[in-house]
């Protein structure tokens, strides 16, 4: 059986070698370059928008001479990575054969068989692609390296080059990062911990996955014992030791941003983070150091953040973006940056957006597809849809409102009723056009209030609002502009262009409404920002009165910002009831934009398809519900300068502010029960009719009647006194009265004085 295994292994190795030679041209392979080994390529360099180094990439490299690397460290790495290192010539044929057999049994490629020598040439000379051609070249370079360097030199170069997570290259850097000491101060368990990281730093780094790191460390200790490097007693003692990390807090500059850029670059190049960090790449980003410093300062101030209802610290995220390109200019992925490549809330978290989703779904579809305008009248009353009845946060309904009012005041009932007109599929379509990926389950009317199955990230929400700022062009949020390899060759350039999501007219109308929201609505905390700003808030509540999520998204003509606040475990902690999107998040967004007013300035440019019309705002209320232009009589308090699509403005001038008309004749007769029935014909539609009664010389208002011109109005005087009385009616301008101005017409002619005899004759009673 053993002989058969050897034959199969040898045949498999030969097949791999033949395949490698068949798919590539060996004479095109790069030669062995010892300078790349003795002076390894620079670690990944992250550059900001000006080409300066974003030094917080967190790269650490402290090469050691071969004699300065402790024996225990060398033994740990050899035991777990290449136990036959000192017995092969660069390729371990036994290990290759075993790996191939394991792959055959598994039916897929699972086992690695690279020696330390192969790993070193891969790290210094080759890409991370998994092809037979690359493996063949790796083997050829490894054999060549073994001919010009001895084993100790190769091992030392490897231990100075290998990436061990947390930005640490080589054992000296890793010892300092994880344990606060040099390599010569490492204990046996600590040395084994570092050796265990090599296989997959993102999986076995002890600060990211301590349980997996411990398992891997213990596996390394077992391998050291099996290979005779340590005794069983030493192994058992080391197995019982804790990880014992001693990592100093490394907040640094732009940590969250750099993490996101590295993730993006890895995805673009289709390589692992370990390969990127050790490959000498130059990653050119859109990071704006001034904006990042501003965000860092705000996040360093605990007074800008609320506590959870139980006193726990809440979390937050911030993303700022160029509205025209979608380039992320700065970000904060959390309150504290303590763990590199940790959970980045700015780009990795998805939460319910609440009302912040309305403009980029329901209202975008209503304005762009249905042709709704800011003065389209909506119904803000509760209706039931498939068992779902939305309610407003205030608990009040507002009846007939304009689309502008509904969005500025974030009325849920009006929005869901509008969604019914727009259609759920249309609202989903516009959300998708603006960059969101929605779950198929999101086909209910709850979509109107931003209740989504999967939620959205701050970055995706910020990017959607960029389209409102830039004239309707959807942008893709990104941090990386381009990437160069260690030779200076461009290997990636961001090229995902913008696309039309809605018309420039629709984008401008929505922006004009959201500027109102920032001045007078739920986002009024931004009213004092010294540049033109539009904004929308969102709050996701709990049934017990607390809140899960609080959002503000704001934008200027050049800059967009999204701020989220909440708790990582909303089922355990929640925001206090008063913490809404319009409170802490809006104030933080306002502070950021105010601090960076020179960067965020400009003017929202009105497109040719939009005109301004001077309207009578009183004509938009529910009792009128007929939009009219302002007239010469419209008071200043009711002038509304509204943005409308060209040609859509009302044609009729307001008739609401005419002088009240005097009632000419008032009649009194019996109501059939012996009580006076006062009646008259309304001569206009702008008055409220004051029914007056006089006993002797004193006149008293006993009723107010409303109606339109030509209506026959009546009033029964239930409390008529027995003495002599007379009646009159005075027309009062009702719309001016709402403004505190009293304009009365002359009283009508008085009815005859009615004494006891006259009452008896007219009404049949005295």
Is 355 noted as a catalytic residue in this protein?
A: yes
* Helices 458-469 and 504-520, packing angle to 10 deg: 110
Q: Annotate 190-244 with three-state secondary structure.
A: HHHHHHHHCCCHHHHCCCCCHHHHHHHHHHHHHHHHHCCCCCHHHHHHHHCCCCC
Is 542 noted as a catalytic residue in this protein?
A: no
How many CB atoms are closer than 10 A to CB 573?
Answer: 20
Residue reference for tokens 């990017």? 463
Signed CA dihedral, 488, 490, 491, 493: sign only: positive
Backbone angles phi, psi at 689, to 5 degrees: -105, 115
> What count of Cα atoms within 13 Å lies in the side-chain half-sphere of residue 447?
28
Buried b (16+ CB within 10 A) or exposed e, 331-368: bbbbbebebbbbebbbbbbebbbbbbbbbbbbbbbbbb
Residue 46 structure tokens? 């992250």
Question: How far apart (Å, rounded) are the C-alpha atoms in residues 562 and 541?
Answer: 19
Q: Which distant-in-sequence residues (6+ apart) come within 8 Å of 664 by Cβ? A: 683, 748, 749
Contact (Cβ atoms closer than 8 angstroms) between residue 463 and residue 321: yes
List the catalytic residue out of 273, 316, 355, 361: 355
Question: How far apart (Å, rounded) are the C-alpha atoms in residues 697 and 695?
Answer: 6
Residue reference for tokens 């309707």? 472
Question: How far apart (Å, rounded) are the C-alpha atoms in residues 552 and 554?
Answer: 6
Question: How far apart (Å, rounded) are the C-alpha atoms in residues 629 and 642?
Answer: 10
Question: How far apart (Å, rounded) are the C-alpha atoms in residues 117 and 545?
Answer: 63
| E strand intervals along 256-314 | 282-285
Question: How far apart (Å, rounded) are the C-alpha atoms in residues 444 and 590?
Answer: 34
How many CB atoms are closer than 10 A to CB 642?
Answer: 21
764 φ/ψ sector (left φ>0, alpha ψ -120 to 50, else beta): left
Residue 672 structure tokens? 């059939």
Question: How far apart (Å, rounded) are the C-alpha atoms in residues 649 and 152?
Answer: 84
Nearest residue to 576 via CA among 552, 546, 548, 549: 546
Signed CA dihedral, 439, 443, 446, 448: sign only: positive
List the catalytic residue out of 81, 264, 327, 332: 81
Nearest residue to 371 via CA among 380, 379, 363, 359: 363
Kindly state the DSSP code that residue 247 receives in the 8-state scheme: P
> What count of Cα atoms within 13 Å lies in the side-chain half-sphere of residue 126?
24
Question: How far apart (Å, rounded) are the C-alpha atoms in residues 206 and 244?
Answer: 10
Catalytic residues: 81, 355
């Amino acid at each position: 059986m053993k002989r058969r295994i050897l034959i199969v292994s040898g045949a498999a190795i030969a097949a791999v070698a033949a395949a490698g030679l068949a798919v590539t041209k060996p004479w095109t392979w790069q030669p062995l370059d010892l300078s790349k080994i003795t002076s390894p390529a620079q670690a990944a360099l992250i550059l900001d928008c000006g080409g300066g180094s974003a030094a917080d990439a967190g790269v650490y490299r402290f090469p050691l001479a071969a004699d300065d690397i402790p024996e225990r460290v060398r033994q740990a790495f050899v035991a777990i990575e290449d136990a036959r290192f000192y017995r092969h010539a660069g390729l371990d044929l036994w290990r290759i054969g075993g790996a191939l057999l394991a792959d055959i049994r598994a039916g897929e490629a699972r086992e690695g068989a690279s020696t330390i020598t192969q790993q070193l040439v891969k790290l210094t000379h080759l890409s991370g692609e998994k092809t037979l051609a690359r493996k063949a070249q790796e083997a050829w370079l490894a054999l060549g390296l073994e001919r010009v360097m001895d084993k100790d030199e190769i091992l030392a170069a490897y231990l100075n080059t290998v990436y061990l997570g947390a930005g640490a290259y080589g054992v000296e850097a890793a010892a300092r990062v994880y344990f606060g000491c040099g390599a010569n101060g490492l204990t046996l368990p600590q040395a084994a911990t570092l050796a265990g990281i090599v296989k997959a730093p993102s999986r076995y780094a002890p600060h990211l996955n301590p349980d997996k790191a411990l398992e891997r460390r213990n596996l390394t200790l077992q391998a050291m014992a099996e290979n005779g490097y340590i005794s069983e007693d030493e192994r058992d003692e080391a197995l019982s030791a804790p990880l014992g990390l001693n990592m100093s807090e490394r907040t640094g500059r732009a940590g969250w941003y750099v993490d996101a850029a590295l993730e993006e670059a890895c995805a673009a190049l289709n390589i692992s983070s370990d390969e990127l960090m050790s490959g000498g790449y130059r990653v050119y980003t859109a990071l704006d150091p001034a904006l990042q410093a501003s965000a860092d300062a705000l996040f360093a101030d605990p007074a800008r953040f609320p506590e959870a209802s139980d006193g726990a610290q809440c979390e937050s995220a911030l993303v700022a973006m160029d509205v025209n390109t979608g380039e992320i200019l700065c970000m904060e992925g959390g309150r504290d940056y303590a763990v590199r490549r940790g959970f980045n809330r700015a780009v990795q978290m998805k939460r319910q957006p609440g009302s912040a989703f309305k403009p980029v779904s329901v209202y975008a579809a209503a304005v762009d597809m249905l042709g709704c305008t800011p003065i389209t009248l909506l119904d803000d009353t509760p209706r039931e849809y498939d068992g779902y009845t939305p309610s407003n946060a205030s608990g009040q309904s507002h009846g007939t409102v304009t689309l502008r009012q509904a969005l500025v005041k974030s009325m849920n009932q009006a929005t869901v009723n509008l969604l019914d007109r727009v259609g759920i599929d249309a609202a989903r379509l516009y959300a998708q056009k603006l960059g969101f990926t929605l779950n198929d389950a999101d086909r209910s009317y709850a979509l109107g209030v931003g209740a989504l199955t999967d939620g959205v990230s701050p970055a995706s929400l910020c990017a959607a609002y960029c389209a409102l700022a830039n004239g309707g062009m959807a942008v893709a949020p990104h941090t990386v502009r381009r990437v160069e390899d260690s030779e200076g060759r461009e290997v990636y350039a961001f090229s995902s262009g913008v696309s039309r999501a809605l018309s420039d007219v629709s984008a401008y109308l929505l922006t004009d409404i959201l500027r109102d929201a920032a001045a007078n609505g739920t986002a009024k905390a931004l009213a004092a920002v010294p540049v033109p700003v539009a904004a929308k808030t969102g709050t996701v509540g709990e049934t017990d009165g607390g809140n899960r999520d609080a959002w503000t998204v704001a934008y200027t003509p050049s800059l967009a910002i999204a701020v989220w606040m909440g708790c990582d475990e909303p089922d355990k902690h929640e925001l206090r009831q008063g913490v809404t999107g319009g409170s802490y998040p809006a104030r933080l967004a306002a502070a950021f934009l105010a601090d960076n007013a020179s960067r965020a300035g400009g003017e929202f440019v009105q497109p040719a398809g939009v005109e301004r019309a001077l309207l009578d705002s009183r004509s938009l209320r529910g009792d009128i519900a007929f939009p009219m232009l302002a007239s010469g009589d419209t008071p200043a308090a009711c002038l509304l300068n509204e943005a409308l699509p060209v040609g859509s403005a009302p044609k009729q001038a307001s008739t609401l502010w005419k002088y009240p008309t005097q009632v000419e004749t008032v009649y009194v007769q019996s109501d059939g029960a012996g009580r006076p029935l006062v009646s008259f014909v309304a001569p206009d539609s702008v008055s409220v009719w004051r029914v007056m009664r006089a006993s002797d010389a004193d006149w008293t208002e006993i009723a107010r009647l409303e109606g339109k011109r030509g209506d026959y109005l009546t009033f029964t005087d239930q409390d008529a006194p027995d003495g002599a009385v007379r009646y009159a009616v005075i027309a009062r301008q009702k719309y001016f009265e709402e403004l505190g101005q009293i304009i009365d017409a002359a009283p009508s002619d008085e009815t005859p004085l009615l004494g006891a005899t006259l009452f008896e004759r007219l009404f049949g009673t005295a």
